[in-house]
Amino acid sequence: MDCIEKVNDALKQMKEKRPLVHHITNYVTFNDCANVGLAIGASPVMSDEIKEVADMVSICNALVLNIGTCNERTLESMIEAGKAANTNNIPIILDPVGIGATPFRFQAIERLMQEIRFSVIRGNMAEIKVIAGLGAERRGVDSLEDESNSAQLAENLAKQLGCVIAITGKSDSVSNGEITYVLGNGHENLAKVTGTGCMTSSLIGSFLGGGSDAHISAISAILCMSIAGEIATEKLIDRKAIGSFKIYLMDTISALNPAEIRVRAKASLIK
């Protein structure tokens, strides 16, 4: 079966299952992540209280960890939740927001990666470079990196870490270490709204919770978000109207159908 049909199957399967997806994510984009999960057809849950995260994770189908506003308290909750997910074979997606910005974030990710096994790690080029130990310009949470080696970096790091690596940006690379796809959808408006990266990670969690494998989950989520970004932009009368863009993005995600995905998806197999 070709990649795009696998994406459509993953979407159908997830909508039927309506998976519970637990999030320990950042406070800036909490609401957007909950809404995008509902829009795609999952059932998102949010809590970062250490006394309940293991219980919550145990009834969920996937876990999303996002360090966007991580603090000492919520880092411990992430460790606790991640261990419970590993014990229960519940897949986890890690979003290392701004890992290069501060030593605290770097050490948080280092510890999470030591103590927890992830199914998918998704970040922008700057973030994934830091994880790969390649160095990247120290900046905030947005990437300014050259993305030309993205497919090779994703493949190498996936092989090294034994999990799927997704690098999102102008184009996106998703590799499981064996097979690497470069995805070519999307619109620059996606970078002009806060939380589109976090939302993509939440969508990966939705697909993981739906029962798809890590590679297809990451490809599906990224294609859904980037195709929705294209359609939402086309709906705009003023292409710069970033408030309306975000609304149309949510509208489009809630109504995405297999035919649209089939016609629009640009996925190139690299290896």
**Token code pair at residue 64:** 């999303």
Determine if 103 is a binding residue for a second copy (CB under 8 A): yes
Residues 6+ apart with CB under 8 A from 76: 50
CB of residue 155 to a second copy, shortest distance in Å: 30
Name the one range near a second copy by CB under 8 A: 40-48, 116-124, 127-135, 161-169. Answer: 40-48
Stretch that binds a second copy, among 21-29, 81-89, 174-182, 263-271 (CB under 8 A): 21-29
Helix ranges restricted to H, the chain: 3-17, 30-40, 50-58, 72-87, 103-115, 125-131, 150-161, 196-210, 214-235, 242-255, 258-264
DSSP labels, 31-93: HHHHHHHHHHT-EEEE---HHHHHHHHHT-SEEEEE-TT--HHHHHHHHHHHHHHHHTT--EE
Q: Is 139 in the site for a second copy (CB under 8 A)?
A: yes
251 binds a second copy (CB under 8 A): yes
Question: Tokens 């950042």 correspond to what residue?
Answer: 26
- Among the residue ranges 54-62, 80-88, 145-153, 214-222, the one whose residues contact a second copy (CB under 8 A): 54-62
- The answer to the question of residue 260 lying near a second copy (CB under 8 A) is no
Is 29 among the residues that bind a second copy (CB under 8 A)? yes
Closest to a second copy by CB, 152 or 244: 244
Alpha carbon distance 35, 44 (integer Å): 8
Nearer to a second copy, 20 or 183 (CB): 20
Where does this chain touch a second copy (CB under 8 A) — which range of 153-161, 202-210, 236-244, 259-267?
236-244
95, 197 contact by CB (below 8 A): yes
Which position among 6, 9, 15, 47 is part of the footprint of a second copy (CB under 8 A)?
47
What is the Cα–Cα distance from 229 to 216, expressed in whole angstroms?
20
Q: How many CB atoms lie within 10 A of CB 238?
A: 8
- Kindly write out the interface string for residues 206-235 of this chain, putting x where it contacts a second copy by CB under 8 A and - elsewhere: ------------------------------
**Under the rule (CB under 8 A), what is the footprint of a second copy?**
20, 22, 26-32, 34-35, 38-39, 43-49, 51-52, 55-56, 59-60, 68-73, 98, 101-105, 138-142, 192-195, 238, 240-244, 246-251, 254-255
